Structure 1
Amino acid sequence: MAVEGGMKCVKVLLFLFNFIFWLCGLVLIIVGVLVQIGLHNTLAIRDASASGGPIVIIGIGVVIFFIAFFGCCGAWKENYCMVTTFAILLFLLIVVEIAAVIVGYMFREKLSNVVQDSLTEMITGYKNGTDDFKKTVDKLQEDMKCCGGNSSTDWSSFGKDGKSVPDSCCVTPSAHCGKGTMRNPKKVHQKGCHDALVAFLRKNLLWVIVAALVIASLQVLGIVFSCLLMRGIRSGYEVM
């Protein structure tokens, strides 16, 4: 009876774990979508490699979503084959997540170049860009309180006088406030957006890496519970 009670507890724990696991998958899908939108719209990152992280996050989220559902069914029905398959898939997923964490950490070192290229493209295409594109660049500079890529002088080709910047560069944005004020620190932010944007992205990427490691740790518990339940089912104990 002691073993039977223990197996009942393992069954319930595995079911609850999979429900939480299912929610984690849903959260990862949402986070991945939001990061993808942020990189390509809010922050105007155009480098194709920047899509790798969010796509991996979304992919892992979708896989977790379905694996957790599969695990819930296996635990509830006490199906040895389903629980075994769940444990194997969970192990493979942990391997993929660890690989994704390593890739994400390596991408942190590449962020500087990706951001530099994207900011250069933003500045070059600003004058002839669409209204939405200009709003994106302006929002970036206003939110980050910065101007240009490395400094306000990156906008030297913006105006005919070579001394004007977009109004979003101004300390207090207003109509035509950037005209002829490129080097005026009282009116225009002199610091470029590169360092601030890299720091922002690295901080967010670090949180994603930490979240992935926490989820991987929880998955190890899921494998342990699965193995215990598999042992109970195989031994022929009634766990209902």
Structure 2
Amino acid sequence: MGVEGGMKCVKFLLFFFNFIFWLCGLALIVVGILVQVNLHKTFMIRDPTASGAPIVLIGIGVVIFFIAFFGCCGAWKENYCMVTTFAILISLIIIVEIAAAIAGYIFRNKISNVVQDSLTEMITNYNNSTDDFKKAVDNLQEDLKCCGVNSSADWKNYRPNGNSVPDSCCVNVTAGCGIGTMTDPAKVHQKGCQDAVEALLKKHIQWVIVAALVIAFLQIMGIVFSCLLMRGIRSGYEVM
């Protein structure tokens, strides 16, 4: 039996939302990988708990990627079982996301401890580390215009005189500019990197929240259109 415009519209809307959903899953995978790389290379954060968020992003992205593809096929072929399975899986994902959001809210203050411990480790190991490690620390301090964890005084063990910092701490970076200038605000940044790193991470988290809200909207719309299409298929519609 032929289908009137209403059910055809539902079918194509479900296909369209699944395609967008598929792209969102791909985007989550990319964002998760970028966050992981930035945390462990740019910031040299080695605390394993810091990997939780990007790993969750990558995992959810992979699941969404395949489920959305599954939903597209189910909608296009009008397969009742595939559409039903898709709706159930999306509902389960929403439940997992809600649980993850609650866990993230509960442990939101842990980011401060992770950043502080990681930056302290960076400073402690600076002199005995590889050139790549030192370059990462220097780039961090230069880009964020900061020095040490809480202040430039955190570099007191950098040189025997106890009053020197890496050149990357300098307001104007030149060779040897950090020697004997630890407490000189005209030459060395006195503000530590902890606040700057936390602010940068929180800024990125805001974009993650926006992306999560967009994906949640698509998920809900996907469930609604799936239920409508399932109802149409059960009612004997045959969508072209």
Task: State the TM-score, normalizing by the size of structure 2.
Answer: 0.97
- Structure 1 Cα separation of the partners of residues 204 and 105 of structure 2: 12
SS in 2 for 1:120: helix
Quote how far apart the aligned CAs of 1:4 are.
Answer: 2.6
1:105 deviates by 2.9
Residue type matched to 1:7 in 2? M
Query: Residues 6-155 of structure 1: matches in 2 within 5 Å?
Result: 6-155=6-155
1:213 partner letter: L
Contact between 1:108 and 1:205, CA under 8 Å: does it hold in 2? Answer: no
Residues 101, 209 of structure 1: 8 Å contact kept:
no
Are the equivalent residues in 2 in contact too, given 1:98–1:213 (CA < 8 A)? no
1:5/1:239 contact within 8 Å kept = no
Q: Which residue in 1 is equivalent to 2:219?
A: 219
The amino acid that maps onto 2:47 is D
Matched residue SS, 1:179: coil
1:14–1:75 contact (8 Å) kept in structure 2:
yes
Partners in 1 of 2:99 and 2:213 — Cα distance?
A: 11
Question: Contact 2:3 / 2:238 at 8 angstroms: preserved in 1?
Answer: no
1:190-240 residue CA offsets vs partner (Å, 9 max, x unmatched): 000011111111121122123112211210010000000000000001211
Partner amino acid, structure 1, of 2:134: K
Amino acid across the alignment from 1:53: A
Could you tell me whether the CA contact under 8 Å between 1:18 and 1:72 is conserved in 2?
Answer: yes
1:136-163 CA distance string (max 9 Å, x none):
1001100110000000000000011000
**Bigger Cα displacement from structure 2, 202-211 vs 213-222:** 202-211
The equivalences for 1:152-191 within 5 A come to 152-191=152-191
CA distance in 1, matches of 2:104, 2:211: 12
Aligned with 1:108: secondary structure? Answer: coil
- Aligned mates of 1:97, 1:213 — CA distance in 2: 11
How far 1:76 moved relative to its partner? 0.5
Distance 1:25 1:103 in 2: 21
Amino acid at match of 2:37: I
AA aligned opposite 2:203 = K
Q: Distance in 1 between matches of 2:131 and 2:109?
A: 32
Aligned length: 240
The Cα of 1:102 is off from its aligned counterpart by 2.3
The whole-number CA distance in structure 2 between the counterparts of 1:30 and 1:36 is 10
**TM-score under structure 1 length normalisation:** 0.97
> Any stretches of 5+ residues in structure 2 without a counterpart?
none
Task: In structure 1, give the amino acid aligned to 2:188.
Answer: V
Secondary structure, in 3 states, of the residue corresponding to 1:96?
helix
Quote the RMSD (CA, aligned, Å).
1.3
Give the percent of matched residue pairs that are identical in Structure 1 and Structure 2.
Answer: 76
Q: Is the 8 A contact 2:2 2:237 kept in 1?
A: no
Distance (whole Å) between structure 1 residues aligned to residue 107 and residue 144 of structure 2:
22
Q: 1:234 — aligned with what?
A: 234
